[in-house]
Amino acid sequence: MSNTKFSKEHEWITLDGEVGTIGITKHATEMLGDIVFAELPEKGSNVEKDGTAGVVESTKAASDVYTPVSGEIVEINQSIVDDPSKINADPEGGAWFFKLKLKDKSELDTLMNKEEYDKFAKESSS
Amino acid sequence: MNIKKTALYELHKKHNAKFVEFAGYSMPIQYSEGIVKEHNITRNKSGIFDVSHMGQLFIKYSNDITDKLQEILPTDLKNLKINQSKYSFLMKENGGIYDDLIITRMKDQYMIILNAACKQNDLQIIKNKLNDQNLDINNNLSLVAIQGPESKTILENVVSNVSKLKFMNGENFSFKNNEIFITRSGYTGEDGFEISLPNKVAISFVEELISKGSTLIGLGARDTLRLEAGLCLYGHDINENTSPVEANLKWAISKNRINDNFIGSHQIKKQIEEGVSKLRVGIKPETRVIARESTKIFDEKDNEIGKVTSGTFGPSVNASIAMGYISNSHSKTDTKVYLEVRGKKVPANVCDLPFYKKSYVKGEANV
């Protein structure tokens, strides 16, 4: 997935036309540990780049989920709310968090590509 | 201050532990399996816990020592049988708790197991009470717990005859020609044992338990296990400003000591006779939202009536669970309350403790 971009807050986004799918990275789930609770934004709500757009809780602590770009939430993944352990199992695939209609595609330019993110994740965890 | 390590540190490292600082010690929070799996391993099979950071204090037995200890502990020590253990508290003048502990009457001494974060303060209090400045925590010993339904069989394979021990009883055994002391006890809600043994054999002992089928478990799962079992964590669910009565731990005060004199006994007696204004209860949120420590509790009319002291997700009950202090008028089981989490009021219900209950041992031990 070469068109996947990553944020410093450990979210990923893939773009399909005007709609971006957003989730948290495998690296994020490894840092969090077992996720036992997820809260997602409401469908139809508007979120701002770098603003909170959900919460995940592990057995250890709660962490905010940020949106890497601005836009309107068009779909949420209820299956991760019902079974948050899916986030640990498949964070960069089936356990996406929400889809949003991008307000400004140029915001994607501020994000990292896979290679840059892997390097960033490695450095920030060492 | 240098961060301390237990004798099992290198073994934890070898098993890919993630470490956290806890009470001045570098302790494993989890291993590669993760907290939920480690929790389930303990509930379904057997888990090993390094609790060597806890203080092991040995005091030579005498009638005079018994009398003096009874002035600071609300436990009937005079009727404590040799090899018997009791859960007790180091009491404060106001009826609060300096520490919760396990005291065991050994043949010619008492063994007291103290919480890591409290042990130096406890030691000073006990030294002063006994007027013995030479008293010290034994740092040459490790403390290992093995917990879970298969633990009895696994430990029996390493130390013969341990399975004859009854709940809250201990005895001397040997391992590789070293004397070790084992009690049938623990803090997970499972059948299990706690083993006090010399540091020099700690790693080889734990390695044997692993080879017989047990697994190292970190402090993360220890916390979810003890919370499901409704057990208090000192510094969170109990402290210097909560009495054993308020903490709903009145059962741990020996009946024949209620009218006796010990530090804080006046306050305890008063609370038992007149009732308390706040009480520790179990709380179950109606959703999966986790109510962490310090979460405010409200009644249906939006009055603040208490605070959560521990909260997590309980893997065995598959639900969010919490404990906290609530005004006594709202402490009845099934009372509807609201927890304020991230600005929202989450409905919850007061519930009985423990959240998770299983019979400790069938046959050979009575709980």
What's the pLDDT score for residue B359?
54
Question: Of the candidates B35, B220, B342, which has its C-beta nearest A55's C-beta?
Answer: B342
What are the chain A neighbours of B288 within 8 Å (beta carbons)? Answer: 36-37, 84
Could you list the beta-strand ranges (E) of chain B: 18-22, 25-30, 47-50, 55-60, 85-91, 97-105, 109-114, 141-147, 170-175, 178-183, 192-198, 215-216, 278-285, 296-298, 304-314, 319-327, 336-341, 344-351
What's the pLDDT score for residue A60?
81
Q: How many CB atoms lie within 10 A of CB B163?
A: 18
What's the pLDDT score for residue B106?
97
At residue A125 the predicted structure's pLDDT band, cuts being 50, 70 and 90, is: confident
What's the pLDDT score for residue A2?
61
The Cβ-side half-sphere exposure at B27, using a 13 Å CA radius, reads 20
> What are φ and ψ of residue A75, in 5° steps?
-155, 145
What's the rounded mean pLDDT across residues A90-102?
Answer: 97
What's the pLDDT score for residue B2?
86
What's the pLDDT score for residue B19?
96
- Using N-to-C axis directions, what is the helix angle for B119-130 and B63-70, rounded to 10°? 120
The Cβ-side half-sphere exposure at A119, using a 13 Å CA radius, reads 5
Structure tokens at B92: 């404060």
Q: Nearest 5°: CA angle at B234, between B322 and B359? A: 60
What are the chain B neighbours of A79 within 8 Å (beta carbons)? Answer: none
In a mutational test of the B interface, the residue from A59, A78, A82, A87 whose CB has the highest number of chain B CBs within 10 Å is A59
CB contact (8 A) between residue B35 and residue A84? no
What's the pLDDT score for residue A108?
96
What's the pLDDT score for residue B250?
96
Q: How many CB atoms lie within 10 A of CB A70?
A: 17
Structure tokens at B215: 């697994």
Q: Is A17 left (phi over 0), alpha (psi -120 to 50) or beta?
A: left
Q: What is the CATH number of domain A5-103?
A: 2.40.50.100
Q: Is B148 left (phi over 0), alpha (psi -120 to 50) or beta?
A: left
CB contact (8 A) between residue A60 and residue B220? yes
> Residue A48 pLDDT more than 80?
yes
Q: Which residues of chain B are under the pLDDT cut of 50?
A: 362-367
What's the pLDDT score for residue B363?
40
- Rounded Cα gap, residues B171 and B195, in angstroms: 10
Contacts of B32 (CB under 8 A, 6+ apart): B15, B16
User: Mind listing the pLDDT tens digit for each residue in A1-27?
Assistant: 568 999 999 999 999 999 999 999 999
